[in-house]
Amino acid sequence: MASITIRNLDQALKRRLRIRAAEHGRSMEEEVRAILKAAVDAPVPPENLASAIRSRMAGLGGVELDIPPREPMREPPPMD
């Protein structure tokens, strides 16, 4: 199993980590492993909705649509 050393950890952060580990009934080392695993396993959200849809539908192929020409706006109905 690999190991990692974290230097220059802020004392306030270390204290909060120790408290969090105690709340979960774990050692600080075990708590850090759980935090890192949760952070790495979390799904990465897509950049935006259009990218998500495009990547999901890419395997199905595409359709070319004709874009109709724009027409002038119609007159609004009378409000009398």
pLDDT in tens, 30-69: 999 999 999 999 887 767 888 888 888 888 877 788 999 9
pLDDT at 17: 95
In this prediction the pTM is 0.54
All residues at 6 or more sequence positions from 21 whose CB lies less than 8 Å from its CB, including other chains: 27, 28, 30, 31
Instruction: Return the closest-CA partner of residue 9 out of 29, 38, 39.
Output: 29
**Average pLDDT of 15-33?**
96
Give the residue among 36, 63, 58 at the shortest CA–CA distance from 46. 58
Q: How high is the pLDDT of residue 21?
A: 96
Query: Over the chain, what is the mean pLDDT?
Result: 90
Q: Which amino acid is at 7?
A: R
pLDDT at site 57:
84
Amino acid found at 72: P
Segment holding 29, helix H or strand E: helix 28-41
**Per-residue confidence (pLDDT) for residue 38, from 0 to 100:** 94
> Which pLDDT score is estimated for 20?
96
